[in-house]
Amino acid sequence: MIQQTISTGHTFQLPAQLSASIVGAVFPADRADVAALLPAGLEPIRATRSRAALTVLAVSYDRVGDDTIEPYDEVGVILPAVETGTRTWPYLSALRRGVSGYVYTLPVSTDPARAFGEDIWGYPKLVADIDLRDNGRTRYATVTADGQHILSFEGKRPPTIPARLSGYNYTVKDDSLLREETRLSGRAGIWPRRHASLWFGEHCIAERFADVVIRERPLYTVAANCDFEISPGSVIYP
């Protein structure tokens, strides 16, 4: 176990332990457009024969650490990616790696949540106004910051089954590319070709996606009610 104290004065044990409800979707996106958003050392997965992927996850946390900070919401945009030179396969890699990859932006609803991710791993978090709600099986999320719309998302929750899964996140901290292993246990599910929608707004973060060609119909939606952990980051580049 490693202890780390963040800028708000909260101390966490690593690997960090969390509990959350997650709904998201994996969308096909132009490979060159996604590659242009990735840092050196990473390349996009082959989600289909000709496309990469862009993933959105709308997450409501109900426990962070040993209740170290208050529960919070976040809506993340992840670019499914692998380390340069790693082989990926169409469709199979989208299933295996669709919710793992480079965390491009991660708006959160509280400042301790921002410091928790930013200080430890370099997650690109910002404090935003997040309207996250469920209506039946559908989760709706709208994110604004500084009075400007970042994104809106809606996705239908698939059925879930008991699951234990592992994955990874990539972040950049102090000019180094880090990889953080993640482990999930609880209930999870995916639903191919089901309904999900994503809109980007006028905020400067949203404008970075203006030229990214994203298909409207997702490869699949994903959901989980789970406990999971995030390991300390390890430097992989340079």
pLDDT, residue 139, reads: 98
pLDDT, residue 206, reads: 98
What are residue 72's phi and psi, to 5 degrees?
-150, 170
| CA–CA gap between residue 222 and residue 212 (Å, rounded) | 22
| CA–CA gap between residue 70 and residue 183 (Å, rounded) | 22
> DSSP assignment of 79-102, as one string?
E-EEETT----TTHHHHHHTT-EE
Domains by residue range for the chain, with CATH = 16-237 (2.40.400.10)
Contact at 8 Å (CB) between 66 and 88? Answer: no
**For every one of its 238 residues, what pLDDT tens digit does the chain have, with 9 covering 90 and above?**
899 999 999 999 999 999 999 999 999 999 999 999 999 999 999 999 999 999 999 999 999 999 999 999 999 999 999 999 999 999 999 999 999 999 999 999 999 999 999 999 999 999 999 999 999 999 999 999 999 999 999 999 999 999 999 999 999 999 999 999 999 999 999 999 878 999 999 999 999 999 999 999 999 999 999 999 999 999 999 9
pLDDT, residue 194, reads: 77
| CA–CA gap between residue 54 and residue 179 (Å, rounded) | 18
Neighbour-count burial of 82, counting CB atoms closer than 10 A to its CB (0-12 exposed, 13-18 middle, 19+ buried): buried
Q: What is the pTM of this model?
A: 0.97
Token code pair at residue 205: 């973060």
